[in-house]
């Protein structure tokens, strides 16, 4: 039986008092790779933000990695985010420290203490994204694609049950987007569940998968051919 990682029922997504999406029914099961597409301003980021607790869910039902989004408290958010790996368009790496120390910062902040385990974990995630030899570099010494690979490594640190990637290739050229996508595909093949917002339709064609579309304040599943 498939395990549900994300389940929204009749949910409404708001930015303050503006309704962005309504009657949202979305289920993501363990191991799925799901795209969230839609024109600019249709609510992809607002949808993602609701999932990682940046926007409150005030209407409908929503559970994500066993958290109830309707009853989510401010103090729960760091724990929810530990079970999620969030990847952003602009990487959000700390510019004042090298890659290993970027990852170390997250591990320390999430309670890791054992030095051996920390080193092993950092090597493991950098290896997964093909960046093991570049841990000593600073973000500004890396290309956009490399920085995004590090951001993906960072998202993997706490073995997330769901990876939320909001336009992860939005700042990258076509070739680099494909390289980052290959990394996400590899991670997906290893059993990770991924929800990726994108407006890059070429990637959808190259790597077909379940696709949700934001349009007219609704979210619905589309069949690939009609995308
Ligand atoms: N902080 C905010 N306060 C108020 N309204 C906002 C805020 N952020 C976004 N919106 C509005 O919410 C709507 C959806 O925006 P959102 O960023 O979710 O769309 P999107 O599909 O992610 O767009 P893009 O592809 O450009 O990132 C837009 O009309 C936008 O103007």
* Binding site membership of 40 for ligand 1 (Cβ less than 6 Å): yes
- Domains of the chain plus CATH, in order, are 4-226 (3.40.50.300)
Sign of CA dihedral 38, 218, 212, 76: positive
CA of 102 to the centre of ligand 1 (A): 29
Complex ipTM? 0.92
**Over residues 199-227, mean pLDDT:** 89
The number of the ligand 1 atom at minimal distance from the alpha carbon of 46 is 18
Is 1 a residue whose pLDDT tops 80? no
Q: How many A from CA of 59 to the centre of ligand 1? A: 18
pLDDT tens profile 102-155: 999 999 999 899 999 999 999 999 999 999 999 999 999 999 999 999 999 999
Contact 48, 197 (CB under 8 A): yes
* Beta carbons within 8 Å of 175's beta carbon, 6+ residues apart: none
Task: Please state whether the predicted TM-score (pTM) of the whole model is above 0.80.
Answer: yes
Determine if ligand 1 sits within 6 Å of the CB of residue 213.
Answer: no
For the cut 70, the answer to whether the pLDDT of residue 227 exceeds it is: no
Ligand 1, closest atom to CA 47?
A: 18
Backbone angles phi, psi at 194, to 5 degrees: -135, 130
């Amino acid at each position: 039986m498939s395990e549900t990682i994300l389940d929204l029922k009749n949910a409404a997504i708001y930015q303050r008092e503006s309704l962005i999406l309504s009657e949202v029914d979305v289920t993501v099961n363990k191991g799925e790779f799901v795209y969230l597409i839609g024109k600019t301003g249709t609510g992809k980021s607002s949808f993602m933000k609701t999932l990682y607790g940046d926007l409150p869910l005030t209407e409908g039902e929503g559970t994500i990695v066993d958290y109830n989004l309707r009853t989510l408290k401010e103090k729960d958010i760091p724990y929810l985010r530990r079970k999620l790996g969030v990847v952003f368009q602009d990487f959000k790496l700390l510019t004042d420290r090298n890659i290993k120390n970027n990852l170390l910062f997250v591990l320390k902040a999430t309670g890791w203490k054992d030095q051996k385990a920390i080193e092993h974990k950092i090597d493991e995630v950098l290896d997964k994204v093909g960046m093991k030899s570049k841990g000593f570099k600073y973000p500004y010494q890396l290309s956009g694609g490399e920085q995004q690979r590090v951001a993906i490594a960072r998202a993997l640190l706490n073995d997330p049950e769901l990876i939320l990637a909001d336009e992860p290739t939005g700042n990258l050229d076509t070739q680099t987007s494909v390289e980052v996508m290959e990394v996400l595909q590899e991670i997906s093949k290893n059993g990770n569940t991924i929800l990726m917002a994108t407006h890059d339709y070429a990637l959808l064609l190259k790597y077909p998968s379940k696709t949700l579309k934001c349009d007219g304040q609704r979210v619905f599943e589309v069949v690939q051919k009609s995308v």
